[in-house]
Amino acid sequence: MKRLICNSIILVLIFFTAPVKGFCIERYDYLERTDTLSVKTSWQLEKDHIILTCTRAGETHTYQCDSLGATLQWELKNSGTNTDIVARREKKSILIKGTFKSESIDKKISIDDAPWYQPMSFSLTSFIKSDKSSGEFWSLRPTDLLAFKMKAEKKEVQFIELQGKEVEVQKVKVSLTGLRSMFWHGYYWLRKADGLFMKYEGVNGPPGTPKTIIEFIRERN
């Protein structure tokens, strides 16, 4: 699944807390590596309004989520591909309008009652804090805006080393549902203490595509 992170995301970040006009702002930086290519991604989360902004390589994703992390609206802007879209949820539909890769788009995607998790690396926080061992959700693939039903499964609690420190994390496997599960899956590691996204590993493309690894770098002041 192409760049489900920043999404995955994804997709990648630093958490910093500071009051700004009544808002609680958290900022994080992450490093995404695919073979020899490295891309830095930055997150800014307005916790009072649950608005997450993710920027990477000339592309900006802005997500509005509810208190459980489910996506209400997603804006994607990329001047390099002439993309400027807004996708929003209305009951059992996702409405998408704007310009996508220089083409006008106005479409309605039918889904079910399951939540929409566009920035999985953020939306999975509520899942790991819950008593559920698995759950299903929807996500749009940023490369073509197709909707996929996904499944998240809690795996073991681990300790991983990041930036020279050991961090206790909850490992989560994310895959497509049904028979499609054999075609793609990825792993997320979220900090056990607060659900902060720490790491991702997965192949974000067709067979033969190098593995993508996204890791937390630091907290940015």
How far, in Å, CA of 51 to CA of 23, rounded? 11
Question: φ, ψ for residue 182 (rounded to 5)?
Answer: -75, -15
How far, in Å, CA of 197 to CA of 189, rounded? 6
Q: What percent of the chain has pLDDT over 90?
A: 75
Instruction: Report pLDDT for 71.
Output: 98
Q: Is the pLDDT of residue 2 over 80?
A: no
Residue 6: left (phi > 0), alpha (psi -120 to 50), or beta? alpha
What is the per-residue DSSP string for 141-190? Answer: -TTT--EEEEEEEEEEEEEEEETTEEEEEEEEEEEESGGGGGT-EEEEEE
Q: Is the pLDDT of residue 11 over 50?
A: no
Lowest mean pLDDT among 11-20, 27-36, 160-169: 11-20
- Over residues 8-32, the mean pLDDT reads 57
Q: What is the pLDDT of residues 61-106, one digit of tens each?
A: 999 999 999 999 999 999 999 999 999 999 999 999 999 999 999 9
Q: What is the pLDDT of residues 96-117, one digit of tens each?
A: 999 999 999 999 999 999 999 9
Residue 63, Cβ neighbours under 10 Å: how many?
A: 25
How far, in Å, CA of 195 to CA of 124, rounded? 8
Give, rounded to a whole angstrom, the gap between the first and last alpha carbons of the chain. Answer: 32
Q: Is the pLDDT of residue 9 over 70?
A: no
Q: Let me know: does 199 contact 212? Beta carbons within 8 Å.
A: no
Higher pLDDT pick, 179 / 21 = 179
The reported pTM is 0.85
Q: What is the pLDDT of residues 201-218, one digit of tens each?
A: 998 877 778 999 999 998
- Over residues 180-198, the mean pLDDT reads 93
Instruction: Report pLDDT for 204.
Output: 81
Nearest partner of 130 among 144, 115, 113, judged by Cα = 115
How far, in Å, CA of 64 to CA of 16, rounded? 19
Instruction: Report pLDDT for 19.
Output: 36
How far, in Å, CA of 146 to CA of 184, rounded? 15
How far, in Å, CA of 109 to CA of 141, rounded? 13
Instruction: Report pLDDT for 189.
Output: 98
Q: Is the pLDDT of residue 27 over 60?
A: yes
pLDDT band at residue 221 using 50, 70 and 90 as cut-offs: low
Instruction: Report pLDDT for 201.
Output: 97
Distance of CA 157 to the CA centre of its chain: 21
pLDDT band at residue 12 using 50, 70 and 90 as cut-offs: very low
Count Cα neighbours of 92 within 13 Å in the Cβ-side half-sphere. Answer: 4
Identify the sign of the CA torsion 183, 12, 133, 167.
positive
As a whole number, the mean pLDDT across the chain is 88
